[in-house]
């Protein structure tokens, strides 16, 4: 399944990969035509009991596909997912240990398929009021990071590329001119635990790292893993010095610290984030709109992947 609009996908690369795969598997190639098409194809793969579904695209393509595959719940015995990186960050593929180069990644996937090598990974869900649960593979968030992603989607629709430099400029613009850095909107609530209130930004990780800036990983929650529950970074101070220090720790892989400005939660099975006003929400780098309440849950061994 090919997303032709993915950042680093091209007809030439697609042709090379299709030829390589067709020599080893009985292959049907489908190109996604619009947003939501990958979800339909994922659902079809499960309904038709296909062996494997292979995606060529970014994290958004993989997210849509998995939401189709798991539309009726976890599928530990369903189709195997194999993902070839073709987007700008490719967090999920890289977290699985696949090379960033799509040709090399395809070689790894072919080797895994020939040897029957798979891995079961845990995933997360987020649920907004009145909506069905939404699966996510790598990360989700509420607040500033979701605002940046929402702005980037708007600019990509007008033809601008999602380059690292563009993300940096958008982040600076949002941070200094647009996001509310004085009135914290979020509260994190867990059963049997004290609430964490006064939160400006909540980053939820299902694996490590959180994302990449070019080739550099950013890692607020270094202990996050496909084999544990969800990790959360709750950011309670968006002052300039606090933010610079937090990003320094993310870039040096030392994560955050439990202090007056930042709280880290590890291996969480479930929690809820409530907001005093509508805030932006994202999952795997896809903007999901605004919400005032989001429930999160971890689901162990929800999906088989070729690796």
Kind and range of the H or E run holding 140: strand 139-142
Q: Give residue-wise pLDDT tens across range 230-283.
A: 999 999 999 998 888 888 888 886 655 556 789 999 999 999 999 999 999 999
| 90-94, 170-174, 238-242, 280-284: the lowest-pLDDT one | 170-174
Angle at 185 between CA 200 and CA 148, to 5 degrees: 50
Query: How far is it, in rounded angstroms, from Cα 165 to Cα 141?
Result: 21
Residue with more model confidence, 122 or 12: 122
DSSP 3: -
- CA–centroid distance for 100 within its chain: 16
- Of the listed ranges 169-173, 201-205, 268-272, the least confidently predicted one is 169-173
Contacts of 27 (CB under 8 A, 6+ apart): 18, 21
Mean pLDDT of 101-109: 95
4-13, 158-167, 292-301: least confident range: 158-167
H-helix or E-strand containing 293? strand 286-306
Alpha helix locations (H) across the chain? 11-22, 37-47, 59-69, 91-95, 102-115, 144-157, 164-173, 240-251
The per-residue pLDDT for 144 is 92
Candidate from 9-18, 53-62, 118-127 with smallest mean pLDDT:
9-18
- Say what the pLDDT of residue 120 is: 96
Tell me 26's DSSP state: -
Is the pLDDT at 93 greater than 70? The verdict is yes
Average pLDDT over every residue of 75-84: 94
The radius of gyration of the chain's CA atoms, rounded to the nearest angstrom, is 19
Whether residue 287 has pLDDT greater than 90: yes
* The total number of residues written for the chain in this structure: 307
What is the model's pLDDT at position 253? 64
Q: Stretch 183-196: mean pLDDT, rounded?
A: 97
153/17: higher pLDDT: 17
Q: Which domains does the chain have, with CATH numbers?
A: 11-116 (3.40.50.10330), 134-300 (2.60.200.40)
Q: Report the chain's mean pLDDT, rounded to a whole number.
A: 92
Give the per-residue pLDDT at 259.
Answer: 63
- Residue percentage of the chain with pLDDT more than 90: 75
pLDDT for 155 equals 77
- For residue 102, pLDDT beyond 90: yes
pTM score = 0.93
Average pLDDT of the residues in 218-234: 96
Q: Specify the range with the lowest mean pLDDT, choosing from 33-47, 77-91, 114-128, 258-272.
A: 258-272
Give residue-wise pLDDT tens across range 43-73: 999 999 999 999 999 999 999 999 999 999 9
């Amino acid at each position: 399944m090919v997303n032709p609009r993915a950042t680093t996908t091209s007809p030439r690369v697609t042709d090379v990969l299709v030829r390589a795969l067709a020599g080893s598997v009985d292959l049907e190639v489908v190109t996604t035509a619009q947003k939501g098409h990958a979800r339909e194809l994922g659902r079809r793969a499960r309904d038709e009991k296909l062996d494997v579904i292979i995606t060529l695209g970014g994290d958004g393509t993989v997210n849509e596909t998995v939401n189709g595959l798991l539309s009726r719940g976890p599928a530990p015995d369903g189709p195997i997912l194999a993902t070839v990186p073709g987007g700008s960050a490719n967090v999920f593929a890289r977290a699985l240990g696949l090379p960033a180069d799509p040709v090399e990644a395809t070689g790894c996937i072919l080797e895994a398929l020939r040897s029957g090598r798979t891995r079961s990974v845990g995933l997360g869900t987020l649920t907004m009021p009145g909506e069905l649960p939404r699966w996510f593979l790598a990360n989700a968030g509420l607040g500033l990071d979701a605002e940046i992603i929402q702005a980037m989607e708007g600019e990509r629709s007008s033809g601008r590329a999602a380059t690292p430099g563009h993300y940096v400029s958008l982040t600076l613009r949002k941070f200094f001119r647009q996001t509310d850095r004085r009135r914290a909107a979020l509260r994190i609530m867990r059963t049997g635990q004290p609430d964490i209130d006064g939160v400006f930004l909540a980053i939820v990780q299902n694996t490590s790292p959180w994302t990449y800036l070019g080739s550099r990983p950013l890692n607020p929650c270094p202990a996050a893993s496909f084999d544990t529950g969800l990790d959360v970074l709750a950011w309670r101070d968006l002052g300039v010095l606090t933010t610079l220090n937090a990003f320094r720790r993310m870039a040096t892989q030392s994560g955050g610290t439990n202090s007056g400005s930042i709280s880290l939660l590890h291996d969480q099975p479930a929690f809820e984030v409530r907001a005093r006003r509508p805030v932006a929400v994202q999952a795997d780098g896809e903007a999901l709109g605004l919400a005032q309440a989001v429930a999160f849950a971890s689901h162990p061994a929800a999906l088989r992947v070729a690796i």
